[in-house]
Amino acid sequence: MKYVFQFGIVWDHLPALLEGAWLTIRLSLGAFALGFAIAVLLAFLRTAGPRPLRAAIAAYVEFIRNTPFLVQLFIIYFSLPAVGIRFEAITAALLGMSLNFSGYATEIIRSGIEAVPRSQIEAGYSLGFTRLQIFRNIIVFPALRTVYPALASQFVLLMLGSSIVAAISAEELTAVTNTLQSTTFRAFEFYFVATGLYLLMAIFARLLLHAIYWTVFERGRPGERVWSR
């Protein structure tokens, strides 16, 4: 039996798909902001904190990086209610994405911190700076410049990985697509268009992140660039 493509039905439901894509973008941006803040704190504590705290942070990072994101999400959404902690689907999705991103970003940022020349840090100590002042005034900018490309790629992976939160009924793009294809029986058309939307979002995100990098870190700066065009 020959399959007849009917993309017109996708056009009829395009507003719903775009609404799901918009939620995907909002979840990704929110998770990036929260996860990045957590990662900066953890990276600082892992390099400058007491040994027991460094060990605890290392264990957290290993747990996040070596367990499936879906399992982490299920723990937040299905397991925590057993001990009286409940989240709405969107909140659980945001929390899960943030924690997952922070586990990877912590190691990325830590590598940037360790790449800062020791002589600059020692100069800060000689000027009487505290560890926090050295971190804020000497380490942060060059470290972020070094790791920005890796963080940008991790953000794109975060956005694409947000499709997993459809498993807890968070109505982002994949969840909306699943609902529409199951009611219209047009799986090929809806998944094809959803794939195209993810592709467009990823390309736009990479271009925007590259423009931000160029503006913040490279404009007017001579020498070798960390992130080439």
Pure H helices in 1-13: 8-12
- The answer to whether residue 228 is domain-embedded is no
- Please give the residue that has the higher pLDDT: either 215 or 135: 215
CA angle, residues 204, 217, 126, in degrees to nearest 5:
145
- The answer to whether residue 1 is domain-embedded is no
- The answer to whether residue 108 is domain-embedded is yes
- Please give the residue that has the higher pLDDT: either 123 or 65: 65
Nearest residue to 97 (alpha-carbon basis) of 44, 152, 163: 163
Q: Is the pLDDT score of 34 beyond 80?
A: yes
Cβ pair 24, 162 in contact under 8 A: yes
Nearest residue to 171 (alpha-carbon basis) of 17, 68, 28: 17
What whole-number percentage of the chain has pLDDT above 90?
Answer: 76
Collapse the DSSP code of 99 into the 3-class scheme (helix H, G, I; strand E, B; otherwise coil) and give the result: helix
- The answer to whether residue 223 is domain-embedded is no
- The answer to whether residue 205 is domain-embedded is yes
What whole-number percentage of the chain has pLDDT above 70?
Answer: 95
Cβ pair 196, 132 in contact under 8 A: no
- The answer to whether residue 3 is domain-embedded is no
Cβ pair 160, 198 in contact under 8 A: yes
Q: Is the pLDDT score of 29 beyond 80?
A: yes
Neighbours of 81 (CB within 10 A): 12
Number of domains in the chain: 1
- The answer to whether residue 36 is domain-embedded is yes
This prediction has a pTM of 0.90
- The answer to whether residue 224 is domain-embedded is no
CATH code at position 127: 1.10.3720.10
Task: Specify the amino acid at residue 117.
Answer: P
CB neighbours of 6 closer than 8 A, spacing ≥ 6? Answer: 186, 189
Structural domain for 136, as ranges:
8-218
Cβ pair 102, 43 in contact under 8 A: no
Confidence band for 220, pLDDT divided at 50, 70 and 90: low
